Amino acid sequence: ALDAEDFSNGVTKVIYEFTIIDKDLNEKTEEYTIFVDEVYTVTFVVTDGAGNEVEDAIITLGEVENEANDYVFAYVKPETYSYKVEKAGYQTVEVEEVEIDRDMEIEVVLIKDLSDYSEKIMIAHSTTTGYAAYHGTSVTQSESTIIGVKYHSNTDNEIKIAVTSNCEGFVKVENDEFDTKQAVIDAYDNGAAVESLLLPRDYNAKAYAPVYFVAKVDGDYKLVKYVDGFVNPTPQENGNKGNVVVFQYKN
């Protein structure tokens, strides 16, 4: 028989199992749970810095770790807990003390780590897409909806780029010393967005510092680096020809 020594840590619930047999000997078993202590449900709402839901995070509440994307903890006893929310590509959130004394919804914002730079994106002026090349690689697009940039026109010493139809604007920044996606978002929100930028260009090797800007594309934010740009009316020995601008981005 069970006695108090078998439950030294206390009893939180009692489970009864009833079996009913009818006159034809058909049998049905039903389970009932009676909770002795009051327990609560804790639901986590996990979003990124832009307010988008983040899926597949792993949450640990106290000593209990849920599977990825399981954000609900049932039957939580009232006491003080710590919790941790983690997902690859985001900064881990850890909170030491939260008191659970009712059904609760806990909002967590995961800050995305900034990616490495992408492969180079090459864009040519629309009048040169039939023959433009960058170091021997053909450049056939006059805009990129990935970074929200289109080649607009040339001035005497600069190339003008403009936003694509899915880009809200550009905010120029001094450098690319950003660690998180949220820092990039803040740079855009705190800056003055424009619909075009002028970029330095030359006829051969690049002889200027990179230009950095944040582009808001399809509601997302990209840190874009201007890598190269040239206007070559005739093919060059290095394989450059046509009017081309080159970018990389972090997301």
Please name each of the domains of the chain with its CATH number. Answer: 4-35 (no CATH), 40-110 (2.60.40.1120), 121-250 (no CATH)
**Angstrom distance (rounded) from CA 114 to CA 129:** 32
pLDDT-based confidence at 38, cuts 50/70/90? Answer: confident
Is the pLDDT assigned to residue 106 strictly greater than 90? yes
Q: Return the pLDDT at 155.
A: 80
Top-ranked range on mean pLDDT: pick from 110-114, 173-177, 227-231? 173-177
**Angstrom distance (rounded) from CA 107 to CA 131:** 53
For the entire predicted model, the pTM comes to 0.70
Listing from the earlier edge strand, what are the strands of the sheet with 40-48?
72-76, 40-48, 104-110
- What mean pLDDT, rounded, does the chain reach? 90
Lowest mean pLDDT among 32-36, 66-70, 114-118: 32-36
pLDDT-based confidence at 11, cuts 50/70/90? Answer: low
Between 198 and 14, residue with greater pLDDT:
198
**Angstrom distance (rounded) from CA 147 to CA 217:** 7
**Angstrom distance (rounded) from CA 164 to CA 239:** 28
pLDDT-based confidence at 237, cuts 50/70/90? Answer: confident
Cβ-based burial of 76 (10 A; exposed 0-12, middle 13-18, buried ≥19):
middle
CA nearest to 93, candidates 119, 60, 64: 60
Is the pLDDT assigned to residue 148 strictly greater than 90? yes
- The answer to whether 121 touches 129, Cβ cutoff 8 Å, is no
